[in-house]
Structure 1
Amino acid sequence: MSNNNLLLKVENVGKQFDGNRVLKDINFSLEKGKILALVGENGAGKSTLMKILFGMTVIAETGGYEGQFYLDGEKTSFKSPMDALKAGIGMVHQEFSLIPGFTTTENILLNMEKTKSNVISKIFGKNLETIDMNEMKKSAKKAIETLGVHLDPDTLVSEMPVGHKQFIEIAREIDREKVKLLILDEPTAVLTESEAEILLKSMRKLADMGVSIIFISHRLHEITAACDTLVVLRDGVVVVEKPVEGVSIRQIAEWMVGREVDNKKAASVKNVDTTDSNKDVILEVKNLWVDMPGETVKDVCFSVKRGEIFGIGGLAGQGKLGIPNGILGLFPGEGEVVFNGKPLPLNSTFNALKSGLAFVSEDRRGIGLLLDEPIDWNIAFDAMQVQEKFLKKLLGGLIKWRDDKAMKECAQEYIKSLEIKCTSEKQFTRQLSGGNQQKVCIAKAFALEPTLLFVSEPTRGIDVGAKKLVLDALRRYNEENNTTIVMVSSELEELRSICNRIAIVSEGKVSGILSPDAEAAEFGLLMSGQYDLSEEGVKL
């Protein structure tokens, strides 16, 4: 590779947040007019790396980064996204940044409007020029044609499907002057199959025009079809950098997931017969749809056996979080859920809790906790509201008041068993660390003594020691009480360490269910949306 043809060089880049290292010694390069695939599991460091490259302010606000970037041979460090844009780097984020009340043309040319002079501007200056809508439409049409899609330049963004919005985001970036590098972060996640094919063709067209592209995608077949080189991140480290030619989807999945489950962990998983259809089914979910923004569930079916720990995994935004939120009624849902042999009405959290379900939400601060109340009140609250526990009653229940002694005893029991670090059961939960807040959420669910417990992202944002305590507590509760647990997590190795079976969700559906000791590549293939695995030799 000649230096003249090198657009981007990443050298020894590292980053840590509050002592937690997320990137370590990252090195790779990208030639002009080439498409580089950047892949990795959730939390591998892809988004952080792109934020550094694009000059996102959160990087400087959290202590900056180590290492350097070279663009066209010159050492580069952007203080803001505006600096990156001026240097010819465009980025299309997963979240749209369009103005709904503006047209296609107005959004594509936002902050790059074409103007024409008038009598007043000739006297008082360029700032008073009027917008030249004809020229703007010409420019917008040119960008749209480059992508090879059919978009009406006069349609309001609020009136168009989500796939069209994604193409507008990309058209806006390629319309900028001197664009050299385009970063596309999961651009096909919201596209139909035919739209995705159009995008892949337009990426190749842009590359042929000399634009370099960094393409982040979990759809591994798109990478083998459209990209020139491949960089795999795992745990903040580059584990593979090589040409895509000759690489199979299975190899990429293996590199991406990569780690083998620890033998000691595997031994702790109960030996549940995954083929025995006569085993007691406690939960059956059929054709579940959930309208949860960013985690839409499109048609999920699975069943859970009594007493098992059932895992639900998958990449971010594929719908796994929507499943418990829909079943528990926190977001609108449709479909059929049968719990303990009886139909469970959807869209009613109270009925779900009353029937013997409990939920530890992934949003512990927003949903899980009363932050300005003490620990004992948090632990007892749901059980008091739903089951009338921790209440003293007179006259057949006509008069009720709180049993502070029972609340204190319960809280102290969980503080001890879950090793919640606090001054006492009267400390406000807002004052606790993230790991200890999570333990309070779990204690709150345990206090309901549920028949089935949903736990969503139970170890997100907590340290390694706290993670082990949380997972041990769930395993122990399952074994001692025969409580069925459904655990949703982005951490595949955590699921493999504790679960009897693991369902992988991709694009709002269950793409497959595996045993925890299945090969890492099989999980990676299911995450990437590879439903037909026969060619890869994977048997489910």
Structure 2
Amino acid sequence: MDTNYLLHMDNISKEYYGNKVLKNVSLAIKPGEIHALMGENGAGKSTLMNILFGMPVIHQTGGFEGTVKIDGQAVSIDAPHHAMNFGIGMVHQEFMLIPGFTVTENIKVGREITNPTFLSRVLGKNLETLDTEQMRKDAKKALSDIGLNIEEYVKVAGLPIGYMQFVEIAREIDKTGIKLLVFDEPTAVLTESEAERLLEIMKLISSKGIAIIFITHRLDEVMAVADSLTVLRDGEFVARKEVKDSNVVEIAELMIGRKVEKLVDGLEDEKREVDPKKIALSLRDFHVMMPGEMVRGIDLDVFEGEIFGIGGLAGQGKIGIPNGIMGLYETEGAVTFFQEMLELDKLGNALLHGIACVSEDRRGVGLLLEESIEENIAFSAMQVKENFLKKIGPLKLFDQKKARDHAKEMIRLLDIRCTGPKQPVGALSGGNQQKVCLARALTMSPKLLIVSEPTRGIDIGAKKLVLEYLMRLNREQGITIMMVSSELVELRSLCDRIAIVSDGKIVTILKPDDKDAEFGLAMAGSRKEGAKHA
């Protein structure tokens, strides 16, 4: 069987510090085919590619289980340059170009062609001279091979983003013996016309017998260029399909998982209705300029007292919505909260109005990892509302006793597993860090709580606890909740309504018990006749 494939990764498993991120995953690529590797963030795509390229992070953490075969022969790739020796190259999402170099110099960097001189014969290879003419010819041929008509002598600095991407591709094509190219989200930063051009270049490359692994979340691109696809979910192999035998709805369902099990008990017997006349949050023609998560003009109403879900595939804009509301990125349009207009260009304005947010990036922006649990929980309320401060004349000092007593109460309420309120947050597990983020948001006594990817990276037991606590906050304290999640199972377990976002716009708003096929269609970006919009 292996002889039919250029690359066959079989039963690949990988653990990081006891956390199994890949579980018996297989990937098979034929010569000259474009194979889409698909799955949500955290599905295991990056880890699988790190194994293929022999990245140090793999071998410094105990290696992996399983076999990698190229042209039917088992190989050991323990460094990126070994991958190059086997004819494997990568076009990175973030450019690896040197702006001050010319196109030729970027294409040939690290593989320069030199001519011997009298001095080099005596004193060594370092004194050889560059064969600039041959390097320019090679660069011109690589550019021609991908149908790109730019001069090889111009500097990369100042080129359009799309052209930089194409120079990266030309550099890989120029490498001798290239057999397989990995394209990692190559269209993420391109304009629509540049993305179309790139897809054409991919087809041109594959027509020359070079195989392509195409990592993308954009289902329309997969349908346009891919021959086959592999779907990963939660570190496991889900399916390998021929694109001609599938469709966008089926692929979306494979990516997100069709099996819906209630993660939270006690909701089924509550057939409650919220009053659509009582609007807590209203967005009108709302745009957010968040790179990779652009929001492109949405209208949305969140009703007072509901749990409103926002779902969609990665990179489609769902994360941009809360970040825009909180003023973290430039926005356009109007946002009103209980009929009062928010000033989103003023960071912290949403907090002042009673909107608290648990960020999807708890380690990057959500937590002060070196500081204690009590300081993390008190931080926002202290900064915005001047809580946990005691005044001594003109001075305002941190009221440690008040903060500690409050932290102890939050630790008890949320079951934060720790040694006590003085423990540094960086020493906690992911699930307990997430609970600290939630405690800090709740300490603001918000009227609206936004939780973005509330259970990312935590185990199933911690997920259940976090979700059940969100439900209790909503039911017992009447807090309106907006929940943004990549996991439809969570949204359908908890939410009253769920907006599906694709390409920065709301495709439709669904009820949690609507059919799986409707969710699949919406996740794929297809608008249905009669779909309910905000």
Q: Taking structure 1 as the reference length, what is the TM-score of the superposition?
A: 0.90
Which stretch of the first structure deviates more once superposed, 447-456 or 105-114? 105-114
Whole-Å Cα distance in 2 between the matches of residues 399 and 219 of structure 1?
Answer: 55
Partner-residue secondary structure (3-state), 2:78: coil
- Say whether residues 1:309 and 2:322 are aligned partners: no
State whether residues 272 and 308 of structure 1, in contact with CA within 8 Å, keep that contact through their aligned partners in structure 2: no
Closer/same/farther in 2, CA of residues 315 and 62 from structure 1, 3 Å limit: farther
Match in the other structure for 1:489: 485
Closer/same/farther in 2, CA of residues 128 and 517 from structure 1, 3 Å limit: farther
The CA deviation at 1:445 is: 0.9
Whole-Å Cα distance in 2 between the matches of residues 538 and 67 of structure 1?
Answer: 46
Match in the other structure for 1:194: 193
Whole-Å Cα distance in 1 between the matches of residues 57 and 82 of structure 2?
Answer: 15
- Say whether residues 1:288 and 2:310 are aligned partners: no
Closer/same/farther in 2, CA of residues 209 and 442 from structure 1, 3 Å limit: same
Residues 403-482 of structure 1 mapped to structure 2, 5 A cutoff: 403-482=399-478
The CA deviation at 1:527 is: 3.7
Whole-Å Cα distance in 2 between the matches of residues 160 and 525 of structure 1?
Answer: 38
Match in the other structure for 1:332: 330
Which stretch of the first structure deviates more once superposed, 333-342 or 188-197? 188-197
Whole-Å Cα distance in 1 between the matches of residues 390 and 346 of structure 2?
Answer: 27
Whole-Å Cα distance in 1 between the matches of residues 438 and 355 of structure 2?
Answer: 13
Match in the other structure for 2:138: 139
Partner-residue secondary structure (3-state), 1:94: coil
What letter matches 2:462 in structure 1? Answer: A
Whole-Å Cα distance in 2 between the matches of residues 141 and 34 of structure 1?
Answer: 25
State whether residues 319 and 507 of structure 1, in contact with CA within 8 Å, keep that contact through their aligned partners in structure 2: yes
Match in the other structure for 1:348: 346
What letter matches 2:410 in structure 1? Answer: Y
Whole-Å Cα distance in 2 between the matches of residues 110 and 347 of structure 1?
Answer: 43
Partner-residue secondary structure (3-state), 1:156: coil
Match in the other structure for 2:366: 368
Partner-residue secondary structure (3-state), 2:244: coil
Whole-Å Cα distance in 2 between the matches of residues 436 and 251 of structure 1?
Answer: 36
The CA deviation at 1:152 is: 4.1
Closer/same/farther in 2, CA of residues 516 and 100 from structure 1, 3 Å limit: farther
Match in the other structure for 1:512: 508
- Say whether residues 1:230 and 2:229 are aligned partners: yes
Closer/same/farther in 2, CA of residues 345 and 178 from structure 1, 3 Å limit: same
Closer/same/farther in 2, CA of residues 533 and 192 from structure 1, 3 Å limit: farther
The CA deviation at 1:298 is: 4.0
Whole-Å Cα distance in 2 between the matches of residues 264 and 43 of structure 1?
Answer: 20
Closer/same/farther in 2, CA of residues 433 and 267 from structure 1, 3 Å limit: closer
What letter matches 1:421 in structure 2? Answer: R
Partner-residue secondary structure (3-state), 2:157: helix
State whether residues 263 and 490 of structure 2, in contact with CA within 8 Å, keep that contact through their aligned partners in structure 1: no
Q: May I ask how many residue pairs the two structures share in their alignment?
A: 532
Match in the other structure for 1:208: 207
The CA deviation at 1:74 is: 1.3
Which stretch of the first structure deviates more once superposed, 173-182 or 263-272? 263-272
State whether residues 352 and 384 of structure 2, in contact with CA within 8 Å, keep that contact through their aligned partners in structure 1: yes
Give unpaired runs (5+ residues) of structure 1.
none
What letter matches 1:430 in structure 2? Answer: G
Whole-Å Cα distance in 2 between the matches of residues 538 and 229 of structure 1?
Answer: 31
Closer/same/farther in 2, CA of residues 153 and 539 from structure 1, 3 Å limit: farther
Q: Provide Cα deviations, 1:413-456, integer angstroms capped at 9, x if missing partner.
A: 21111011223223332333222222111111111101111222
The CA deviation at 1:85 is: 0.7
The CA deviation at 1:118 is: 4.3
Match in the other structure for 2:158: 159
What letter matches 1:406 in structure 2? Answer: K
Whole-Å Cα distance in 2 between the matches of residues 503 and 427 of structure 1?
Answer: 38
State whether residues 361 and 456 of structure 1, in contact with CA within 8 Å, keep that contact through their aligned partners in structure 2: yes
Match in the other structure for 2:318: 320
Match in the other structure for 1:22: 21
Whole-Å Cα distance in 2 between the matches of residues 358 and 95 of structure 1?
Answer: 32
Whole-Å Cα distance in 1 between the matches of residues 508 and 455 of structure 2?
Answer: 24
State whether residues 88 and 179 of structure 1, in contact with CA within 8 Å, keep that contact through their aligned partners in structure 2: yes
Closer/same/farther in 2, CA of residues 378 and 225 from structure 1, 3 Å limit: closer
Closer/same/farther in 2, CA of residues 403 and 156 from structure 1, 3 Å limit: same
State whether residues 258 and 520 of structure 1, in contact with CA within 8 Å, keep that contact through their aligned partners in structure 2: no
Match in the other structure for 1:260: 259
Give unpaired runs (5+ residues) of structure 2.
none
Task: Give identity over the alignment, percent.
Answer: 54
What letter matches 1:299 in structure 2? Answer: G
Which stretch of the first structure deviates more once superposed, 265-274 or 352-361? 265-274
Closer/same/farther in 2, CA of residues 49 and 372 from structure 1, 3 Å limit: closer
Q: Provide Cα deviations, 1:322-343, integer angstroms capped at 9, x if missing partner.
A: 3222221233333321122111
State whether residues 297 and 322 of structure 1, in contact with CA within 8 Å, keep that contact through their aligned partners in structure 2: yes
The CA deviation at 1:178 is: 0.1
Closer/same/farther in 2, CA of residues 255 and 68 from structure 1, 3 Å limit: same
The CA deviation at 1:45 is: 1.8
Q: Taking structure 2 as the reference length, what is the TM-score of the superposition?
A: 0.91
Match in the other structure for 1:106: 105
The CA deviation at 1:297 is: 3.6
The CA deviation at 1:271 is: 5.0
Partner-residue secondary structure (3-state), 1:159: coil
Whole-Å Cα distance in 2 between the matches of residues 321 and 247 of structure 1?
Answer: 28
The CA deviation at 1:531 is: 3.7
State whether residues 509 and 531 of structure 2, in contact with CA within 8 Å, keep that contact through their aligned partners in structure 1: no
Whole-Å Cα distance in 1 between the matches of residues 344 and 21 of structure 2?
Answer: 39
What letter matches 2:330 in structure 1? Answer: P
The CA deviation at 1:400 is: 4.8
Q: Provide Cα deviations, 1:353-374, integer angstroms capped at 9, x if missing partner.
A: 1111112222323332333433
State whether residues 258 and 521 of structure 1, in contact with CA within 8 Å, keep that contact through their aligned partners in structure 2: no
Partner-residue secondary structure (3-state), 1:13: strand
Partner-residue secondary structure (3-state), 2:6: strand
Q: Provide Cα deviations, 1:386-412, integer angstroms capped at 9, x if missing partner.
A: 2232344578xx565544443333222
Closer/same/farther in 2, CA of residues 118 and 237 from structure 1, 3 Å limit: same
Whole-Å Cα distance in 2 between the matches of residues 43 and 371 of structure 1?
Answer: 22
Closer/same/farther in 2, CA of residues 374 and 25 from structure 1, 3 Å limit: closer
Q: Provide Cα deviations, 1:150-193, integer angstroms capped at 9, x if missing partner.
A: 44434433313322222222222111110011111222223333
Whole-Å Cα distance in 2 between the matches of residues 138 and 506 of structure 1?
Answer: 43
The CA deviation at 1:127 is: 2.7
State whether residues 328 and 348 of structure 1, in contact with CA within 8 Å, keep that contact through their aligned partners in structure 2: no
Partner-residue secondary structure (3-state), 1:283: strand
Match in the other structure for 2:147: 148
Closer/same/farther in 2, CA of residues 382 and 532 from structure 1, 3 Å limit: closer
Match in the other structure for 1:502: 498
What letter matches 2:284 in structure 1? Answer: K
